[in-house]
Amino acid sequence: MRATNENPILPNARLDQLTSWDSDWAGLKVVVAGLGVSGFSAADTLIELGARVVVVDGNASDVNQEKEQTLRIIGAADVLLGEGVMDNLPTVDGDKADLVITSPGLRPTLGILADAVKQGVQIWGDVELAWRLREREGRKTAQWLCITGTNGKTTTVGMLESILQTAGFKAIAVGNVGTPILDALRDPVEYDFFAVELSSFQLHWTHSMSPLASVVLNVAEDHVDWHEGYANYLADKARIYENTQVACIFNANQNEIVKMVEEADVIEGARAIGFWANTPSISMLGVIDGLLIDRAFLDDRHTKALEIGAVQDTGQLPTRHTIENALAASALARAAEIEPEKIREGLRAYEPGAHRIQLVANTHGVLWVNDSKATNPHAANASLASFKPVIWIAGGLSKGVEYDELVTEHKDRLKAVIVIGTDHQKLLDALEHHAPEVPVHNITERAKDQGLDPTDGHWAMSQAVAVAHELSAQDDTVLMAPAAASMDQFDTYAHRGNTFIDAVAKLVDDING
């Protein structure tokens, strides 16, 4: 599967020779586009290697100006900030650049990147750069276990990190999860494994990576504006399977992912390993009678199976989504020859991050669940499918997605819907068309009626929690799974989730007197 918005790999004999830390990087003329976490890490690394670096970012914020001063001190050739600097590819010391390193979120159509293609300059992401630098004389080379998907990446990479560490290996979660992979490469710790979380943006700019094992957890429409279509999004996700060495692990529920594995150009001998939360067939991981089962990584898989752990080992609220994440992490660990008992210990030791199907309170028989990280319908689907009946708090920045399928699938489990956010018309339309019998409480309209600021997320969330309490009864679940981004009323999804947690905590205190 190939994207129509391909990242062209243009010929460059010198770049072809750059395959380790000890290669000749000195004097290489590099433009780093973007001064975020990954951009700063790339610039810092390249300067250490002796490259000549120009860093550009269209945002001249105080934070970026502080980074500029740091980079100038350690030897960057130049730092260009402000409006217009990313419209064209700058020169490096007056010469044409040899290479561009782009931050993952920058669109391929951005002027500086389009100009690089026009001039015949290769574009890499920080992951591609890290892969080329992974081998270093006198140091251990970490094996890469790579994870992507529309949802569940951070949970799965965290589970995998816990499994590897519990098994006694030096391992770290890197990439899209927060720790730049280049920083981990430069860490004095010599890691055995990297658990690498990869976004579709990062994969778009990666072409030579060869992971030990790789997985696509799930796919659904997301970031289609960036990729200029769903087909391109799928094609970039599929890049993770290219050159996989041992196991291409896939969600057997999704034909799109099966097709990715079928079309992947892998290292000879790599196997296709499926997973799902049902009875596993041969060469799969799955669930039987509440147990996580491996029928893939054992010699006599036609007649035998290995018990990895129990469903209850996957978290405080074991949902189908978390079970599938655990199976994917387990499959990656098995590809790395981790024993089943160590996997079970690692799953039990894993402490899930906040804001993903997080139990906030259980009071008077009502569950209060925070899934603020559900920033699109596919993510919200996972948590909605886990509870019934549900009082659903939803809404925010929709990013152009549709809600018809989500509402149609879950309308029978909805007791009521409480709408927050300022970009919720598509959600309201879907509820009206597909679930007209479900009561809808529009908090944003309530704010307008009272002459209040509809972008005040603190007020909106406190009102949503109060309304949910009024509607709730024993055995109900109040689920805050917005199926939308947060920036209309909150700084981040974490800010939104914490606001919900605080509002629920205040409610519980008031109830308990």
Tokens at residue 330, please? 């387990």
**Is 149 within any annotated ligand binding site?**
yes
Q: Residue 423: how many CA atoms within 13 Å on its side-chain side? A: 17
One-letter amino acid at 311 equals V
| Peptide bond before residue 389 is cis, with ω within 30 degrees of 0 | yes
Per-residue pLDDT of the chain (513 residues; tens, 9 = 90+): 334 456 666 778 899 999 999 999 999 999 999 999 999 999 999 999 999 999 999 999 999 999 999 998 887 669 999 999 999 999 999 999 999 999 998 999 999 999 999 999 999 999 999 999 999 999 999 999 999 998 889 999 999 999 999 999 999 999 988 789 999 999 999 999 999 999 999 999 999 999 999 999 999 876 667 777 889 999 999 999 999 999 999 999 999 999 999 999 999 999 999 999 999 999 999 999 999 999 999 998 888 999 999 999 997 778 888 999 999 999 999 999 999 999 999 999 998 878 888 999 999 899 999 999 999 998 899 889 989 999 999 999 987 789 999 999 999 999 999 999 999 899 999 999 999 999 999 999 999 999 999 999 999 999 999 999 999 999 999 999 999 999 999 999 999 999 999 999 999 998 886
Residue 152 assigned as binding residue: yes
What is the crossing angle of helices 126-133 and 37-48, to 10°? 40
Encoded tokens for 501: 């947690």
Residue 506 has phi, psi (to 5 degrees) of: -65, -40
Task: Consult the annotation and say whether 166 binds a ligand.
Answer: no
Domains identified in the chain and CATH numbers: 13-129 (3.40.50.720), 140-349 (3.40.1190.10), 358-507 (3.90.190.20)
Contacts of 281 (CB under 8 A, 6+ apart): 274, 295
Residue 267, phi-psi category: left (phi > 0), alpha (psi -120 to 50), beta (remainder): beta
What does the alpha-carbon distance between residue 458 and residue 461 come to, in Å, rounded to a whole number? 5
Provide φ and ψ at 340, rounded to 5°.
Answer: -55, -40
Task: Report the DSSP pairing between strands 284-288 and 291-294.
Answer: antiparallel
User: Does 153 belong to an annotated binding site?
Assistant: yes
Which H helix or E strand runs over 506? Answer: helix 493-512
Determine if residue 232 is labeled as part of a ligand binding site: no
pLDDT per position as a tens digit, 409-436: 999 999 999 999 999 899 999 999 999 9
**Order of all β-strands in the sheet with 440-442:** 358-363, 366-370, 477-480, 390-394, 414-419, 440-442
Say if CB 15 and CB 98 are below 8 A apart. Answer: yes
Q: Which two tokens stand for residue 240?
A: 């993770």
Q: Please state the φ and ψ torsions of residue 485, each to the nearest 5 degrees.
A: -70, 170
Give Cα separations from 463 to 16, 217, 359, 450, 458 (angstroms).
58, 35, 20, 12, 9
